[in-house]
Structure 1
Amino acid sequence: MTVTETTGSPLVTRGLTKRFRGGQVAVDAVDLEVPAGSVFGFLGPNGSGKTTTIRMVLGLIAPTSGEVELLGQPMPKAQLQVLPRVGALVEGPAFYPFWSGVANLLRFDAADRTADPRTRKVRAGEALERVGLSNAAGKKVRAYSLGMKQRLAIAVALMQRRDLLVLDEPTNGLDPQGTREVRNLIRELADDGTTIFTSTHLLAEVEQVCTHAAVMSRGRLIRQSSMAELRSELRPRLVVRTPDVTKAAETLKSLGVTDLRTVGETVEGDAGELPIDKFAAGLVAADVRIHGFGLERPSLEEAFVALTGEGFDVAE
């Protein structure tokens, strides 16, 4: 079975807004466009509006205003036609706790009117194997750890081949090994032609898996672009390590370095397009003792913090 061909972007929002009672704006006029075949990271600190956006995209809650288009069709008008082609994991898994993992999979698949009952058991076994739960298939879900429940939820989304897979914090509760397995699974699905839209507050997820990213902060979309484009905009900074920080900063400023910052015995700044040997020679001429000198490219963490003014979790 091949992924159904779609035209344009599989996920588009225009002016998507959600206000709750009391006037609280959770999502404020978000315009998203997810390229076909991409692994799209929806990044932001906890509470930035990511999950509310996803719930509106999938028709789980109604937007206050704005539009959603899934796989080329308007939502929620076309949800009966569109949602069977979309796999989703939103706000953590929910299962029948006294049923086994495989029994839960079979029940969810039976509720899908597009699923072929003749291949149900085979597909359940394959889905459990892909998420590493074959040995726990017969265990009751109430005995599953949070990480195992997370894997089982992904298995539900994998019971059928999907055009679009929407994953809300897919590595939540997983140990480092489980996290790596889910990342590899996401890459495999993308290689097979499935577009992946995954929300996270972990920069490692975006850096290691995603081809594109959007950054949310306080309900607003701050930035969206390809990862290649974002990395190309991270201009390297001149970094000088010296015990003579005051003299070094004054000298670099006189030589044209801008946006100077001093931390401990380190001075850094934007050298623009000027050759760095000019700065080395100027520092030596000013009798600045140099313990370290060179250009360093900012990390993605620094780029995202600069965009939002908020910290991100960089842990695995």
Structure 2
Amino acid sequence: MGPVSAAETEVGGVDDPVIHTRALTKRYRGGQLAVDALDLSVPAGSVFGFLGPNGSGKTTTIRMLMGLIEPTSGAARLLGHPMPRAARTVLPQVGALIEGPALYGFLSGRDNLLRYDAADPTADPRTRRARVAAALQRVGLTAAAGKKARAYSLGMKQRLGLASALLQPRRLLVLDEPTNGLDPQGMREIRALIRELAADGTTVFLSSHLLDEIEQVCSHAAVMAQGRLVVQGPVAELAARARGRLVVTTPDTSEAARVLKEQGVADVVVTEEQVSGEPPEREPAELNAALVASGVRVRGFGVERASLEDAFVALTGEGFDVAG
């Protein structure tokens, strides 16, 4: 795989991020370009959200990072080592939950984890049961540990998969939709666990279709669209790239909507006592003055902070496909 080896020599360095790709590309047979020249950088100690609509290349990227498929060209490094060449060195330091957990349905949750742990050549068999018990407790499955995995709900299976990734201390945790199938309380618990892992020094790389989840738990994020990286950076900075939404509270909604449109406000939406829209490039005070001059009784006026969803739509030009 000549192109990959050639690029690998350009990616190294003492201060490498935990995940670093250079021009990482995957083209499938038939010419389908799934990932196109991806340059990704995941800082150590971050909780990194990986976002993108259906077909954007997220899962293909994760599979390349983990050495499950080989790139067509470009390079990927995990923990400072080239992948997939250094998989045997790297993967024992990485916990992963990709495309749902693979479980033996006829075994209990506990026995599934015992099997996973026994497959790890670095795991001390003398402390195996203690590790499994600790992992089950961490994801809230202690009470269901003896139940057959085939009787688990989707959320319980997701928890068990996460437990398998936590059997050993990990420098990097790669999670694909970690809260899939969980109820709201379960989602909060997993988010709290992710924050706890990050506080302990584990870098967490997670793919999610829940934009509010990314905002709540992630310090950094990257947005993919049509196989290409659109943007990456701290979550707060990404949200700041999208302009906020102007909101006016008034009993005179029809007149307020007319004035705001005349003043260049786009996408004006009228509700019972509010008018909102995308503000133009001008001082908000000028818009307020125009409303007052037209006799609009302004009871509230402000610009709401843009959300990560606003930024996503602004960056990709499309809504978020939850199947992604």
For normalisation by structure 1, the TM-score amounts to: 0.89
- Say whether residues 1:230 and 2:241 are aligned partners: no
* 1:82-231 matches, cutoff 5 A: 82-231=90-239
Contact map agreement 1:146 1:173 (CA 8 A) in 2: yes
SS for the counterpart of 2:254 is coil
- Say whether residues 1:303 and 2:311 are aligned partners: yes
Report the AA paired with residue 301 of structure 2.
Answer: F
Change (3 A) 1:187 1:267: closer
Q: Distance in 2 between matches of 1:57 and 1:250?
A: 48
- Say whether residues 1:21 and 2:29 are aligned partners: yes
Q: Distance in 1 between matches of 2:107 and 2:278?
A: 60
Change (3 A) 1:181 1:247: closer
Contact map agreement 1:244 1:289 (CA 8 A) in 2: no
Q: Distance in 1 between matches of 2:19 and 2:159?
A: 24
Q: Distance in 2 between matches of 1:119 and 1:220?
A: 44
SS for the counterpart of 2:120 is coil
SS for the counterpart of 2:59 is helix
Q: CA deviation at 1:219?
A: 1.5
SS for the counterpart of 1:244 is helix
CA deviations 1:228-251 (Å, max 9, x no partner) are 222333444444463125640365
Report the AA paired with residue 225 of structure 2.
Answer: S
Contact map agreement 1:248 1:267 (CA 8 A) in 2: no
- % same residue: 64
Q: Distance in 2 between matches of 1:31 and 1:39?
A: 18
From 42, 45, 48, the equivalent of 1:37 is 45
Report the AA paired with residue 252 of structure 1.
Answer: Q
Contact map agreement 2:49 2:221 (CA 8 A) in 1: yes
**1:268 aligned partner:** 277
From 57, 65, 77, the equivalent of 1:57 is 65
Gaps of 5+ in 2: 1-13
CA deviations 1:263-307 (Å, max 9, x no partner) are 347353435463x33332333223445465322222221111111
Gaps of 5+ in 1: 1-5, 254-258
Q: Distance in 1 between matches of 2:140 and 2:261?
A: 58
Contact map agreement 1:245 1:262 (CA 8 A) in 2: no
Q: Distance in 2 between matches of 1:29 and 1:209?
A: 28
Report the AA paired with residue 260 of structure 2.
Answer: A
CA deviations 1:42-86 (Å, max 9, x no partner) are 012233211111000000011111111000001111111111000
Contact map agreement 1:56 1:62 (CA 8 A) in 2: yes
Q: Distance in 1 between matches of 2:181 and 2:219?
A: 24
Change (3 A) 1:238 1:180: closer
Report the AA paired with residue 122 of structure 2.
Answer: T
Q: Distance in 2 between matches of 1:238 and 1:193?
A: 40
Q: CA deviation at 1:161?
A: 0.1
- Say whether residues 1:243 and 2:219 are aligned partners: no
SS for the counterpart of 2:150 is helix
Contact map agreement 1:127 1:155 (CA 8 A) in 2: yes
SS for the counterpart of 1:112 is coil
Contact map agreement 1:249 1:267 (CA 8 A) in 2: no
Q: Distance in 2 between matches of 1:133 and 1:261?
A: 47
How many residues of Structure 1 are paired with residues of Structure 2 in the alignment? 303
- Say whether residues 1:9 and 2:20 are aligned partners: no
SS for the counterpart of 2:29 is coil
* 1:64-79 matches, cutoff 5 A: 64-79=72-87
For normalisation by structure 2, the TM-score amounts to: 0.87
Change (3 A) 1:250 1:163: closer
Q: Distance in 1 between matches of 2:260 and 2:231?
A: 32
